[in-house]
Structure formats: structure tokens, C-alpha cells
Chains A and B, each alone.
Chain A
């Protein structure tokens, strides 16, 4: 079952084609890797998918609907959540409040209800609190729930960002270099968590990562991006044996 499909997706900055003729498909519940050298346009693809940039050509179909006319907020509500390469937490808010912001749409009590404290308000807030804590538990962050987000160590901040993204109950989670700046042990641990998240929440995950070995280890399908276009697309084995990829990506070893 196809969840996300792009057709001829492209964007130009001035005269530069940052992404061009980008075609790929992600299935429901798939762990998908997007790899490619620096400046290949990986993050730009994320920005196009989440509506931060408007594509200059092409089409994005997600869950049967085109995303082109939607704002970033609407796209998130419709089911795509993401993290950022350079962590962007709500620094002065507590860890749990960061997640609660992601849970904003899980409840619908009005502002008026929060002022006169209707039963609906209490029910909503209790539900949010419970959901937030259980999300934090997945990432072992529950003991830091009331710590200021900026006081968390780096690795935990990355995890919190994933928790916040999951709180929006996405169907597709985009992770932008989640292991950046982590040591090998932390990275291995994170990859385990990602697998667990995929099973537990039964969502599709699209992962940008530099580390080829790592992506090969957990992803079911991989797209290789080079100079803004898809160089190769397939299973880890196919990618490994693709001569173009070897030339573009590992060329320096020859």
C-alpha cells in the first residue's frame, strides 16, 4: 500500500535546481532510508514534503491527497511529522510540555473551556498528560519530564524531538540525521529505538542518514540522492550492488 508518492518533484533556488525530477514511493509501515552525499538535497526533500518550501514542479501525493496546497501546519495535522538536523526544541519549556505541544490536536477543548474549567477541560488535560508521559517512557525520558528542555544532554534532546514529532500521531515520520553527533553506542541504541517506534506506532519512517552502513542495517528500502535527483532506488542489496551508487558514493575508495 503506497503511503507517499512524489512525481517529478523539483525546486529551483534562483537558477539552481536543488531537487529535480524526484520520484519515489513509500509504503505504509515502511522504514525508508534517504542517503546521499552532502548537498545532495536530502533536507530540501524534507522541506518540500513538509510544506516548508513550495515545489516549483511536480506533485506530492500523501495518503491519497495532494499536499501542494497545504500549509506546513495542515501537512503535520494530516500525518507527516519531522525532526530537524539542528535540533529545534522549545528550549524554555519543560520536556513534557514540548511533547504536549505536539499533542495539541489530540484534544479539542476550547479556550473558553479552559477558562471556566469544564469537565471536558480536565478530561482533555488528563489525557494529554497521560499520553505525554507514555511517549516519554518510550524514550526513557519520563524521569526528566519537568526538566527544562535545554538542560537535557544532547542525545536526549534528539530523542525528545522524536517524541514531540510522534505526539502529532503521524502516519509518516521524517527523521533528519537523527544520529548526528552521537557516538557509535548511542547510535546503535537509537536505531533500536527507531525500530521499536515503527512497530509500536505502526508508522512509516523516512530517515536521512550519512552513515551508509547504518542505513543498510535497518532500512527496507533506500533511495540514493545525488545532485538533487534520484540516483538509485531499491532494497539495501540492490543499492549496494548498484555501480552508479558505488561510483558516486564510494568512488573515493577506488
Chain B
């Protein structure tokens, strides 16, 4: 088993290096212009968001509608830390992520002790409230936007962050901790009676998910360099959820692909941008009903094939 895992690890690592090398080459030689480089940075941030949400919603099975809220905590805190404390980029990132995780803990402890669907409503409310707070306290400069954030994020940074996020979540999911988390999704009572401390794992998985959302926020803040509360509204949370649902709940590769496709595709479909949200809604409903009717494997096969074409086109 050890050998097999190490081989797999090296293989994944080489694959990541090749993709990175190819994209960097394309950027430097001008095959990908600076506009598209920017899109790729956003795509990597979205990969971090989607994979981390997948941990909470896909693997743990708890619906979270406040991922954009955690992202905004990470974004604002890391930005403020960079601006006012002058902390180095990586420290700012970590401070922001830890704060997002702490907020996740505060929300998670009262909510996740309970069985039932309280988490989605409480995270939805949280998302609204955090946005209102960011709009109204002085230090964030409200709707005018927090400015003067140093530009630190580049493709290399987001790519490494995405790889680390994917790696960490993949490792957790494969371990005994991950099996405990998945068993809660499958049957919480049975999991409890198999000796799994369910509350602990629910809160832990949710907090880790919030942590990485915080990282994504910090990366975003130091890329866009101006933060406006509206960016982190409910729509952003739903968009991340659509990525996870489209890629498949509990499917890490799916989340990665869906995050990339859903960042790149809208650029091609500018003409239909008014209908984007409508499409998201339809995707959410259709994905669930088709899955119930067992039509997904078939569609997924088709979708994956199409995705390969997209990747070839971008490289």
C-alpha cells in the first residue's frame, strides 16, 4: 500500500508540474495573453473554493451556503493585516484563513451538534450578516471598497495554493478521518453507533472547509487589490455550490474540472451573461433530479470527454 501511494503521489506531482510548466510557458511566450492569465488565476482560486466546499457539502454532506462569507473573512482580514500590520503575504494569508476557520468554529459548534438541516440556513444568514458588517464598519471602507492592498498573488502562488488544497483534502478523505466524515454523510446515527465522534468530525470538516475558503479570500484580495462587499454575496456562495454539484458531490476531480470550466466558459458566453444565474438554478435542480433517476454516470462520461477538448483548446 505504501508503495502504491508513493507512486500515485509522485505521478500526481509530476502531472501538476507538467501542467504548471505548460501554462507558464504559454504565458511567457504570449500564447496566453495577460487577460487570459488573469482568468486562469481566478480559476485556480475557484478550484480552492470548490474543493474546500466539497469537503463540507460533498464528503460531510452538510449544505453550506456561506462559503463566500468565509471567503470574505479571509479576504478582509488578510488585506487589513497586509495594509495595517505590514505582514508578509504568506502570513497575511494564514491570518485570514485562521480567522475564517475561527468564525466557522463559532458557527459550527452550536449548529453542528444538532442533527438536521440547520447549517444551511445559519450559513445563509451568516453570509448576509457578514456582508452587512463589511458594508458598515469603518475599517473596510464600506461599499466604496477597501483599497491599497498590495498586489502579491500571481499564477504561481494560486497554482501552488490550489495544489496544496487538493492534496490536503485528498489526504484527509483517504484517511481514517475521511472515512469517519463520509460515514456521517451516509448515516449519522449508524456512524455514531460505530463509535465515530460525529459532532467532532462535523465541526472539524466544516472548520477546515472554512479555513481554505479563507485562503481563497486572501488570494483574491491580494490579486484584485480592492475589496467590495458585494462580491461576497449569496450569489457567489451559490456559484461555488453549483461548481461542487456539477462536478459531483464527494468527487474531488469533478470539483476541480467544474471550477475551471465554470470560470472559463462564461468568458466565451458573454452574450448570455444575463442568463447565467438562471442556468445555475437549472443546473442545481436538474443535477439532483437526474442523479435520483440515475442518469448521471451517462452524462458524466459525456461531460468528461467534452472537458478534455476544452483543456486541449486552452493549452
| A and B touch in their complex, CB below 8 angstroms | yes
Interface residues of B in 181-238 (CB under 8 A from A): 182-183, 186-187, 189-198, 204
Indicate whether B285 reaches chain A with its CB closer than 8 angstroms: no
A81→B204 CA distance, assembly (Å): 25
Q: When the two chains form their complex, are residues B177 and A114 in contact, meaning their CB atoms are under 8 A apart?
A: yes
Q: Which of A93, A117, A122, A126 is within 8 Å of B182, CB to CB?
A: A93
Report B-chain residues with C-beta under 8 Å of the C-beta of A165.
194
Least Cβ–Cβ distance between A49 and chain B, in angstroms = 11
Indicate whether B5 reaches chain A with its CB closer than 8 angstroms: yes
Q: When the two chains form their complex, are residues B179 and A77 in contact, meaning their CB atoms are under 8 A apart?
A: no
Q: Which of A82, A111, A114 is within 8 Å of B193, CB to CB?
A: A82
B41-49, B141-149, B167-175: which lies at the A interface? B167-175
Report B-chain residues with C-beta under 8 Å of the C-beta of A97.
179, 182
Least Cβ–Cβ distance between B165 and chain A, in angstroms = 11
Q: Which of B168, B186, B190, B194 is within 8 Å of A104, CB to CB?
A: B194
Are A77 and B195 also in contact (CB < 8 A) when A111-B175, A114-B172, A115-B172 are? yes
Report A-chain residues with C-beta under 8 Å of the C-beta of B183.
90, 93, 101
Indicate whether B130 reaches chain A with its CB closer than 8 angstroms: no
A92→B183 CA distance, assembly (Å): 9
Interface residues of A in 35-91 (CB under 8 A from B): 50, 52, 71-73, 76-77, 81-82, 84, 88-91
Interface size bracket, A side: 35 or more
Closest residue of chain A to B250 (Cβ to Cβ) is A92
Indicate whether B1 reaches chain A with its CB closer than 8 angstroms: yes
Q: When the two chains form their complex, are residues B179 and A72 in contact, meaning their CB atoms are under 8 A apart?
A: no
Q: When the two chains form their complex, are residues B197 and A73 in contact, meaning their CB atoms are under 8 A apart?
A: yes
Q: Which of A72, A100, A122 is within 8 Å of B2, CB to CB?
A: A122
Q: When the two chains form their complex, are residues B196 and A73 in contact, meaning their CB atoms are under 8 A apart?
A: yes
Q: When the two chains form their complex, are residues A129 and B176 in contact, meaning their CB atoms are under 8 A apart?
A: no
Indicate whether A234 reaches chain B with its CB closer than 8 angstroms: no
Report B-chain residues with C-beta under 8 Å of the C-beta of A164.
194
Known pairs A105-B195, A165-B194. 17 more at Cβ < 8 A?
A50-B193, A52-B189, A81-B194, A90-B183, A90-B186, A91-B186, A92-B186, A93-B183, A101-B196, A102-B194, A104-B195, A114-B171, A114-B176, A115-B171, A122-B5, A124-B176, A126-B2
A residues whose Cβ falls under 8 Å from a Cβ of B? 50, 52, 71-73, 76-77, 81-82, 84, 88-93, 97, 100-105, 107, 109, 111, 114-115, 117, 121-122, 124-126, 128-129, 164-165, 167-168
| Closest 9 pairs between A and B when the two form their complex, measured CB to CB | A114-B175, A90-B186, A76-B195, A88-B190, A101-B183, A115-B171, A72-B192, A168-B195, A122-B2
